[in-house]
């Protein structure tokens, strides 16, 4: 036990003496959230649209104006032809082009069916889907309005109401602001990166410096060394956690809907698991280079792709799904989103909590088991 604290104290000295690194360690995660959080906080909307109105009638102008009323689209240019629309999209000046045919006004006036053509930049599927949805919704609303006013006129100016209106309300992100959903996820990923950076070199660095050879000829026990290496970083990462959650709450104005205490407690378990994963990587690496490759290749990239951060996990092939299950960040994403956005408690989150605890124990046990007090 005394040896454990000796290691802890030594690691603390390493951290504190190197002031520049200390500053990086302390400030980087919060700074990273400020930066990346701002990048995802742009609300959807304000999509640039170019318009070619070949009809130039009151009806066509009325239809076009509907697109600017709720701020979802903004006009970048009026042009004359289809070719000009496509050119603007090619040049990334517009995301959408609207082509209203010359017959639009006359078709409507004579009660014939007419068509409007939209051109869409679909190089980024997730963007183009929401753009398309916006186009269809607004167009539908505009046409319904026109349709009913025409019917109303022909029936002698009587007011006509829509028989059914559909209301869809997002439960946890009612404003539809992307920030709300993404920021807690970013907290999870940034903490994962931080934990890996802190510990993935912890063991292998001493191996490369030659101090490990000196340590393994002492009576130190593997668990004392492993735990001694993790404890100081648990403290560091916990300070990071508090800071980064503060940035989410006070800067990005994301309220913690659930219990802050539960969030901090579960974050504590999460960082132990992530740090343990880093130490395990450090343990099986024989050089710092190897450790970096393992950290990025085996943990970081899967954490971004397989944790459900970007791509939903429900429909993933089994292999990808279970790789995701092995990552602490996968479970922590469910926890932090659950507590911050949904406001649910630990009782609801148990399916995510127990794997997190199990993984933390597993990684630590594996680190101790893999550590050999021999040179080869």
Q: Which residues bind another protein (CB under 8 A)?
A: 2-3, 6-7, 9-10, 13-14, 17-18, 209-220, 373-376
C-alpha to C-alpha distance for 236 and 8, rounded to whole angstroms? 12
Minimum Å distance from CB 224 to another protein?
Answer: 9
Residue whose CB is less far from another protein, 145 or 208? 208
65/213 with CB nearer another protein: 213
Q: Residue 370 CB, nearest distance to another protein (Å)?
A: 16
- Min. distance of Cβ 372 from another protein in angstroms? 9
The Cα-based distances of 163 to 152, 158, 358 in angstroms read 14, 15, 54
CB 376 → another protein: shortest distance, Å? 7
In sequence order, the β-bridge partners of residue 53 are 100
Give the N- to C-terminal CA distance of the chain in Å, as an integer: 27
Please tell me the distance from the alpha carbon of residue 237 to that of residue 186, in angstroms, as a whole number.
Answer: 15
- Residue 80 or 213 having the CB closest to another protein: 213
Query: In Å, how far from its chain's centre is CA 249?
Result: 16
Compute the CA torsion angle 261, 32, 190, 262 (nearest 10 deg): 10
C-beta of 72 vs 371, nearer to another protein: 371
DSSP of 224-276, one letter per residue? Answer: HHHHHHHHHHHHHHHHHHHHHHHIIIIIS-----S-HHHHHHHHHHHHHHHHH
The distance of closest approach from Cβ of residue 227 to another protein in the complex, given in angstroms and rounded to an integer, is: 14
Tell me how far, at minimum, the Cβ of 196 lies from another protein, in Å: 22
Nearer to another protein by C-beta: 17 or 158? 17
What are the DSSP E strand ranges found in the chain? Answer: 47-53, 73-79, 96-100, 117-120
Nearest distance from C-beta of residue 13 to another protein, angstroms:
6
Question: In terms of CB distance, is 207 or 331 closer to another protein?
Answer: 207
Measured from the CB atom, is 95 or 224 closer to another protein?
A: 224
Give dist(CA 94, CA 119) in Å, integer: 10
What is the torsional sign of CA 282, 283, 287, 289?
negative
């Amino acid at each position: 036990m005394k040896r454990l604290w000796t290691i802890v104290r030594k690691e603390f000295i390493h951290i504190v003496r190197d002031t520049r690194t200390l500053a990086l360690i302390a400030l980087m995660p919060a700074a990273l959230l400020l930066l990346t959080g701002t990048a995802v906080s742009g609300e959807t909307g304000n999509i640039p649209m170019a318009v070619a109105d070949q009809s130039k009638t009151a009806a066509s102008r009325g239809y076009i104006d509907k697109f600017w009323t709720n701020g979802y689209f903004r006009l970048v240019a009026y042009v004359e032809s289809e070719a000009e629309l496509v050119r603007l999209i090619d040049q990334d000046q517009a995301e959408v082009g609207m082509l209203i045919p010359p017959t639009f006004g006359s078709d409507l006036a004579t009660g014939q069916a007419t068509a409007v053509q939209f051109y869409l930049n679909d190089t980024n599927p997730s963007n183009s889907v929401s753009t398309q949805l916006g186009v269809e919704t607004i167009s539908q609303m505009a046409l319904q309005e026109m349709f009913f006013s025409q019917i109303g006129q022909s029936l002698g100016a009587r007011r006509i109401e829509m028989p059914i209106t559909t209301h869809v309300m997002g439960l946890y992100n009612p404003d539809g602001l992307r920030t709300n959903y993404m920021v807690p996820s970013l907290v999870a990923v940034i903490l994962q990166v931080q934990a890996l950076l802190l510990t993935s070199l912890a063991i292998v660095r001493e191996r490369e410096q030659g101090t490990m050879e000196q340590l393994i000829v002492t009576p130190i026990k593997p668990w004392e060394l492993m735990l001694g290496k993790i404890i100081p970083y648990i403290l560091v990462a916990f300070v990071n956690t508090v800071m980064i959650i503060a940035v989410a709450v006070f800067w990005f104005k994301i309220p913690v809907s659930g219990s802050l205490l539960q969030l901090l407690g579960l974050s504590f378990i999460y960082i132990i698991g992530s740090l343990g994963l880093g130490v395990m990587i450090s343990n099986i690496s024989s050089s710092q280079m190897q450790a970096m490759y393992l950290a990025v290749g085996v943990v970081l990239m899967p954490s971004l792709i397989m944790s459900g951060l970007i791509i939903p996990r429900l429909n993933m092939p089994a292999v990808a799904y279970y790789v995701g299950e092995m990552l602490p960040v996968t479970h922590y994403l469910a926890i932090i989103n659950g507590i911050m956005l949904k406001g649910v408690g630990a009782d609801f989150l148990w399916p995510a909590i127990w794997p997190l605890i199990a993984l933390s124990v597993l990684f630590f046990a594996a680190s101790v088991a893999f550590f050999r007090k021999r040179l080869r």
